[in-house]
Amino acid sequence: MSQTPTIEIFLAKWIDAFNRHDLDSHMELYLEDATLFGSVDELQIGRDKIRSYFSRRGPEVRVESYPMPRVAMLAPDIAVTAGHVEFADGTQPMPYRVTWVLVRRDGNWRIAQHHGSRRLES
């Protein structure tokens, strides 16, 4: 089980697992009943659906930059984050907005709800 005692460590592990296309490590960072509203219309509910969603991305898709998002603590073990992520597919930039609802269980942060949407070009 991935140790994520701080949101900063959690973010670093999420980026690392995403960029390595390591679905096992990536899915450890989501609660079993997590939800994901990604770049498709269908809501992904549960780790199996979220795993399937991420398994369909291209081999060149990676995080270029994910600065520490804004974090709002709703309770000692519940946080909401909002930030901008610079994904890329090869050399093609893919700017996104990402929000997470994070829950701390047994001292480790996990995603309960994840939303990502493409940013509009300015």
Stretch 42-46: mean pLDDT: 96
Average pLDDT, the chain: 95
pLDDT of residue 1: 67
**Is residue 41 packed enough to be buried (19+ CB in 10 Å), middle (13-18) or exposed (0-12)?**
exposed
Stretch 6-13: mean pLDDT: 97
Contact indicator for 116, 97 with CB cutoff of 8 Å: yes
pLDDT of residue 116: 95
Among residues 85, 94, 93, the alpha carbon closest in space to that of 115 is found at: 85
For residues 9 and 41, the model is more confident at: 9
CATH class of 7-117: alpha beta
pLDDT of residue 39: 84
Residue 115 CA to its chain's centroid (Å): 8
Task: Answer yes or no: is pLDDT of 122 > 70.
Answer: no
Mind listing the pLDDT tens digit for each residue in 48-93?
999 999 999 999 999 999 999 999 999 999 999 999 999 999 999 9
